[in-house]
Amino acid sequence: MDKQLTLRCDSSRHRARRALFGLAIVGIGALALLDNLKLFDTPLLRTFWPLILVVWGLARLAWSRHPGSRLFGLLLVLVGALMTAHNLGYGNFDLRQWWPVFIILAGAAIVLRGLFPRSRMGRGRFESSTVEHADAVNVDATFSGIKLQNDSRSFKGGRIAITFGGLELDLREAVMDGPEATIDISATFSGIELRIPREWQVVVQMSATMGAVEDKSAPPAAPSHRLVLRGETLFGGVEIKN
């Protein structure tokens, strides 16, 4: 019964996050429409778009799963508020100068997550872990955290599209059908952790804007298969491990 209640709470938070994301899209459209109608002298969309970061940060604070998530939420609120103030003419905030702060706080969030791992059950913090047997991964998530394991005997790649979320994908039990498989990745304000077998060679063909793609996997002495990663990340990160 407690597990069912926890799952219901998690489902309710998921619906709330999707509703919040929908309202943010509506807000962007409304600002763009008002700009096109020229009802105000100030370009609303160009001025107030950083408030999206504030809303996202408040959502992370409201539905935080660990201290690192709360730290990231506070960062988003602060950056969004400073950028909005800059657009209104109050203060001088240049993101090109301050972007390393994202890296510093992202590292601090990882440290906090390691020191205070989130519980898997209790107080609505149940984290579902899914095992798939399909030959291709197909992940499309917004404002969501997903932990996925694939143990296909003929893995062929797939696609990943994450917006305002995170993904842990474990392919260590998967076996490729051919010599090469390709995963198309799109990560926007999101983090992806990918674990691969030691005999796989990783080929990264991704672009990163205000983000990073790190291959921390050990290069195999005699690679039997190649995993090609294509796509882009915007304000996000992709980390590959064994």
User: For 123-154, how does the pLDDT look when each residue is reduced to its tens digit (9 = 90+)?
Assistant: 333 345 688 889 999 998 876 778 899 999 99
Task: Single out the residue of 143, 231, 224, 142 nearest to residue 194, CA to CA.
Answer: 231
Model confidence pLDDT, tens digit, residues 162-217:
887 788 999 999 999 889 999 999 988 788 999 999 999 999 999 988 778 889 99
Identify the three-state secondary structure at position 222. coil
The CA distance from 213 to 188, in Å, is 13
Q: How many residues does the chain have?
A: 242
Hey, what long-range contacts does 5-11 have (CB within 8 A, 24 or more apart)? Answer: 6/121, 6/122, 6/123, 6/124, 6/125, 6/126, 7/126, 7/128, 9/124, 9/126, 10/124, 10/125, 10/126, 10/128
Residues 17-67: tens digit of each pLDDT = 666 677 777 777 888 888 788 887 778 888 888 888 888 777 777 666 555
SS3 content of the chain, % helix, strand, coil (to 5): 40, 30, 30
Running DSSP on this structure, what letter comes out for residue 160? E
Is 184:160 a contact under the CB 8 Å cutoff? yes
Q: What does the alpha-carbon distance between residue 99 and residue 105 come to, in Å, rounded to a whole number? A: 10
Specify which residues 205 forms β-bridges with.
Answer: 230
pLDDT at 117: 52
